[in-house]
């Protein structure tokens, strides 16, 4: 089984899907001859041609409106937003339009489109190359939002997204692109949308997380084990719809929960997960529902000391684990 | 405006006299149904309506130049006459306005004229101005990639001309020579804001030069002139030569919607001048002058339309609203049937 980075898994999955289905086209800024700024479509123009790998003008609303129009007319577009921080001009075409196509036409039309969005910080990206933008999409009925953290899940969830008959937002954490390696089977498999995964079983408490924070949580759990605390780590993988069953089952069993996210905590994924646990696990809890996230300031400072202070880290997670374990 | 106001095309172009009368018949049906919808609003039965009164000639002529069997139509909320020209029955129109169970466009989830048409590839996803233009570029792109013989006609108003989506869509359509016609119904008002406060130029069509394709301005109360301009634009798109921006100068005879009062921002002189340019009146005069209809035949066209509208109103007024249950359907494929 070959070992790949996250970005390699993304690239090979898109390549395989485009070979399998001629209705799949790519569109975005610099996706053509440049192969994408992260090289997600490196070499695609040579294999699939300029007609299927479309360098768009610098216009995010166009990219998503174009994808939507092509999707309702028989194609399966995969749009790339170069950086999550640049998605805001396209919000109307995604949240206002694409998300409501099926509902607003009473099922007569659907938009089988994928929007890949590199997101997240800890990369010296400053205020406009570091943002986490998942909440707005995860709030929106009609959208599906996935956030794979490993090469295996990147392949399986991207394949599921491309094959889905509705708009799917695929959030790829930039820091994981080349940092995270893992085994990716050659065969054609998918990871189901809406299914979280217990990435590390444990008995003393549950960490619920996603994205880059999964890897920090796994490091923290290994350290905690040396301190005698057995931590279970749940990777949400899909942010909408949330896998309520896996969250509830794990937290009910361990009795304690720490929700870790890189996004600012106010009205966020961790808020929703906390609400689910509060409603369904109340009598099984042995401590308060706890959350670890960055401070409530605009993500995130460019200067290195401040950026590090902003980002959650394995060390900060270990401290939160120890504190929760003592309660 | 004034220069083209009452100039009538000298030829009938590709339209026979018989076809001109049929287009007029559609315009008259649209007018009577449109008037009925406003009445139903004043009776408290139709929550909201946007009228096409004043746009009828432009819309029938536009549709006449297209092929409903293969073309795509991305409309906004004012294409009332275009809907009828594409064969939408008065009952189907009223089910939308009265939010009845059988509304074929969206099952009454959306405002009237929003959703997707049951027989023609016509759709209108939202109320947000100009979002349909990038979508139209995408629809046309899909046709071009697959070598399909289809033209995309996207409707918008002068208000939409100010949106960024309009610029982004035209720019892309120009680069890729997409088979799309940008059909701008310029009635000179974005709700209350006059053209002079929307743009520093007089012609929206002049902007096409910046995107590398032709733009034409046509008097929108002249059925023949609009049909000629649209025929050329559609032919250009079908031949793979790229987009055209067709700007039609029309009048918005009624306020923006049933919730608006245009006497708050239009002068009595402006309103009086506009009423002179009523396309129903202008077209009737043209048909009579050419001996295509008599006064008696005109009266009969009107009385038949009224009768048709009465039948449709009685039918739909007695129909039920949708139940609560179906409101949970069609959020996503996966959520189907789940509440």
A149 and A117, same structural domain? yes
Please identify, among A137, A157, A183, the residue that sits at the C-terminal boundary of a domain. A183
Q: Would you call B281 an interface residue with chain A, using a CB distance cutoff of 8 Å?
A: no
> What Rg do the C-alpha atoms of chain A give, in angstroms?
20
Q: Which residues contact B147 (CB under 8 A, 6 or more apart)?
A: none
ipTM, 2 dp: 0.96
CATH of residue A110's domain is 3.40.50.970
Q: Which of A69, A144, A165 sits opposite B138 (nearest CB)?
A: A69
A222 and A178, same structural domain? no
Give a yes or no: residue A19 inside a domain: yes
Give a yes or no: residue A55 inside a domain: yes
* Catalytic residue status for A129: yes
Give a yes or no: residue A191 inside a domain: no
Please identify, among A155, A183, A211, the residue that sits at the C-terminal boundary of a domain. A183
Residue of B nearest to A192 (CA): B334
pLDDT at residue B12 in the model? 61
pLDDT at residue B186 in the model? 98
Question: Nearest 5°: CA angle at A106, between B74 and B109?
Answer: 90
A94 and A239, same structural domain? no
A161 and A58, same structural domain? yes
Residue pair B251/B278 in contact by the 8 Å Cβ criterion: yes
- DSSP letter at B160 equals G
- Contact residues, A window 158-187, toward B, CB-based 8 Å cutoff: 164-166
Mutation target to probe the A interface, by most A beta carbons within 10 A, among B109, B141, B164, B322 is: B141
pLDDT at residue B6 in the model? 41
* Domain around A261: 197-326
Q: Would you call A113 an interface residue with chain B, using a CB distance cutoff of 8 Å?
A: no
The span from the first CA to the last CA of chain A, in angstroms, equals 43
In chain A, how many domains are there? 2
Which residues of B fall within a CB distance of 8 Å from A109? 116, 123, 125
A164 and A87, same structural domain? yes
User: CA separation (Å) from B70 to B119, B226, B303?
Assistant: 11, 21, 34
Which residues of B fall within a CB distance of 8 Å from A72? 123, 135, 138-139
A156 and A238, same structural domain? no
Q: Distance (Å, rounded) from C-alpha B221 to C-alpha B276?
A: 11
Q: Which of B252, B262, B330, B338 is catalytic?
A: B252
Q: Could B142 and A74 be called an inter-chain contact, meaning their C-beta atoms sit closer than 8 Å?
A: yes
User: Which parts of chain B sit beneath pLDDT 50?
Assistant: 1-7, 337-339
Which residues of B fall within a CB distance of 8 Å from A105? 105-106, 115-116, 123, 125, 330
**Beta strand segments in B57-179, E:** 72-74, 115-116, 122-124, 152-157
Mutation target to probe the A interface, by most A beta carbons within 10 A, among B138, B176, B333 is: B138
Q: Could A65 and B131 be called an inter-chain contact, meaning their C-beta atoms sit closer than 8 Å?
A: yes
- Contact residues, B window 142-171, toward A, CB-based 8 Å cutoff: 142-143, 145-146, 164-165, 168-169, 171
The pLDDT tens digits of the residues spanning A114-148 come to 999 999 999 999 999 999 999 999 999 999 999 99
Q: Could A66 and B331 be called an inter-chain contact, meaning their C-beta atoms sit closer than 8 Å?
A: no
Q: Which of A106, A193, A241 sits opposite B107 (nearest CB)?
A: A106
Averaged over A31-47, what is the pLDDT?
A: 98
Q: Could A62 and B172 be called an inter-chain contact, meaning their C-beta atoms sit closer than 8 Å?
A: yes
CATH of residue A307's domain is 3.40.50.920
Q: Global pTM?
A: 0.96
Closest CA to A150 of A82, A233, A94: A233
Averaged over A205-225, what is the pLDDT?
A: 98
Q: Which of A93, A108, A109 sits opposite B134 (nearest CB)?
A: A93
* Catalytic residue status for B76: no
Q: Could B116 and A109 be called an inter-chain contact, meaning their C-beta atoms sit closer than 8 Å?
A: yes
Please identify, among A159, A183, A207, the residue that sits at the C-terminal boundary of a domain. A183
Mutation target to probe the B interface, by most B beta carbons within 10 A, among A104, A146, A190 is: A104
Which residues of B fall within a CB distance of 8 Å from A92? 128, 131
A92 and A21, same structural domain? yes
Which residues of B fall within a CB distance of 8 Å from A62? 134, 137, 165, 168-169, 171-172
Give a yes or no: residue A192 inside a domain: no
Give a yes or no: residue A38 inside a domain: yes
Q: Which of A62, A104, A164 sits opposite B125 (nearest CB)?
A: A104
In which element (H, E) is residue B248 found? strand B244-249
Give a yes or no: residue A188 inside a domain: no
Domains of chain B and CATH, by start: 17-317 (3.40.50.970)
A121 and A224, same structural domain? no
Q: Could B334 and A166 be called an inter-chain contact, meaning their C-beta atoms sit closer than 8 Å?
A: yes
A201 and A82, same structural domain? no
A201 and A159, same structural domain? no
- Contact residues, A window 245-284, toward B, CB-based 8 Å cutoff: none
Q: B332 is written with which tokens?
A: 């996503």
User: CA separation (Å) from A282 to A171, A196, A222, A250?
Assistant: 31, 21, 28, 13
pLDDT band (50, 70, 90) for residue A1: confident
Give a yes or no: residue A146 inside a domain: yes
Residue of B nearest to A193 (CA): B334
pLDDT at residue B10 in the model? 52
Mutation target to probe the A interface, by most A beta carbons within 10 A, among B73, B76, B104, B125 is: B125
Q: Would you call A103 an interface residue with chain B, using a CB distance cutoff of 8 Å?
A: yes
Q: Distance (Å, rounded) from C-alpha B99 to C-alpha A71?
A: 28
Q: Distance (Å, rounded) from C-alpha B26 to C-alpha B7?
A: 22
A118 and A246, same structural domain? no
Give a yes or no: residue A116 inside a domain: yes
A48 and A163, same structural domain? yes
CB burial of residue B98 (10 Å; 0-12, 13-18, 19+):
buried
Residue pair B231/B169 in contact by the 8 Å Cβ criterion: no
């Amino acid at each position: 089984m070959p070992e790949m980075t996250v970005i390699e898994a993304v690239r090979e999955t898109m390549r395989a899907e485009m070979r399998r289905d001629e209705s799949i086209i790519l569109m975005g800024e610099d996706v053509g001859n440049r192969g994408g700024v992260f090289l997600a479509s490196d070499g695609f123009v040579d294999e699939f041609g300029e007609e299927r790998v479309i360098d768009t003008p610098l216009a995010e609303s166009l990219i998503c409106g174009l994808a939507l129009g092509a999707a309702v007319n028989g194609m399966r577009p995969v749009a790339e937003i170069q950086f999550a921080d640049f998605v805001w001009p396209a919000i109307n075409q995604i949240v206002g339009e694409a998300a409501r196509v099926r509902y607003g036409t009473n099922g007569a039309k659907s938009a089988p489109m994928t929007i890949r969005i590199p997101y997240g910080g800890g990369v010296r990206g400053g205020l406009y190359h570091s943002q986490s933008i998942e909440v707005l999409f995860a709030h929106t009925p009609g959208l599906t939002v996935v956030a794979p953290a490993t090469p295996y899940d990147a392949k399986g969830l991207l394949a599921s997204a491309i094959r889905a008959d509705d708009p799917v937002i695929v959030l790829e954490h930039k820091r994981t692109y080349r940092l995270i390696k893992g085994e990716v089977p050659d065969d054609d498999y998918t990871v189901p949308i809406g299914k979280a995964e217990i990435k590390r079983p444990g008995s003393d408490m549950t960490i619920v997380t996603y994205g880059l924070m999964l890897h920090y949580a796994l490091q923290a759990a290994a350290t905690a084990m040396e301190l005698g605390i057995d931590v279970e780590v749940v990777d949400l993988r899909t942010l909408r719809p949330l896998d309520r069953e896996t969250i509830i089952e794990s937290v009910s069993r361990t009795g304690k929960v720490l929700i870790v996210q890189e996004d600012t905590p106010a009205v966020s994924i961790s808020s929703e997960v906390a609400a689910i646990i509060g409603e369904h696990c109340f009598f099984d809890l042995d401590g308060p529902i706890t959350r670890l996230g960055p401070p409530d300031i605009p993500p995130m400072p460019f200067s290195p000391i401040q950026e590090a202070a902003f980002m959650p880290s394995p060390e900060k997670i270990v401290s939160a684990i120890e504190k929760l374990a003592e309660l | 405006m004034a220069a083209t106001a009452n100039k009538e095309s000298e030829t009938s172009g590709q339209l026979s006299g018989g076809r001109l009368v049929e287009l007029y018949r559609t315009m008259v049906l649209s007018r009577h149904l449109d008037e009925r919808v406003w009445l139903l609003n004043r009776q408290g039965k139709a929550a909201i309506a946007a009228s096409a009164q004043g746009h009828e000639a432009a819309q029938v002529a536009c549709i006449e130049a297209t092929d409903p069997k293969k073309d795509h139509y991305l409309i906004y909320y004012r294409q009332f006459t275009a809907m009828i020209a594409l064969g939408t029955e008065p009952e189907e129109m009223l089910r939308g306005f009265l939010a009845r169970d059988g509304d074929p466009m969206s099952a009454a989830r959306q405002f009237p004229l929003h959703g997707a048409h049951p027989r023609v590839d016509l759709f209108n996803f939202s109320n947000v101005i100009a979002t349909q233009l990038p979508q139209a570029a995408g629809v046309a792109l899909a046709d071009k990639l697959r070598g399909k013989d289809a033209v995309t006609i996207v409707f918008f108003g002068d208000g939409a001309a100010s949106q960024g989506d309009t610029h982004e869509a035209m720019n892309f359509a120009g680069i890729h020579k997409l088979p799309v016609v940008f059909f701008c119904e310029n009635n000179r008002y974005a709700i209350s804001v006059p053209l002079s406060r929307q743009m520093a130029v007089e012609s929206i069509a002049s902007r096409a030069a910046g995107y590398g394709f032709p733009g034409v301005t046509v008097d929108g109360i002249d059925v023949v002139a609009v049909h000629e301009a649209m025929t050329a634009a559609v032919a250009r798109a079908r031949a793979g030569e790229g987009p055209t921006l067709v700007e039609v100068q029309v009048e918005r005879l009624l306020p923006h919607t049933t919730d608006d009062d245009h006497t708050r921002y239009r002068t009595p002189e402006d309103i009086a001048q506009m009423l002179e340019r009523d396309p129903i009146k202008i077209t009737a005069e043209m048909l009579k002058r050419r001996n295509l209809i008599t006064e008696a035949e005109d009266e009969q066209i009107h009385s038949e339309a009224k009768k048709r509208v009465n039948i449709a109103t009685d039918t739909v007024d007695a129909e039920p609203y949708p139940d609560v249950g179906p409101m949970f359907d069609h959020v996503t494929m996966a959520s189907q049937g789940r509440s």
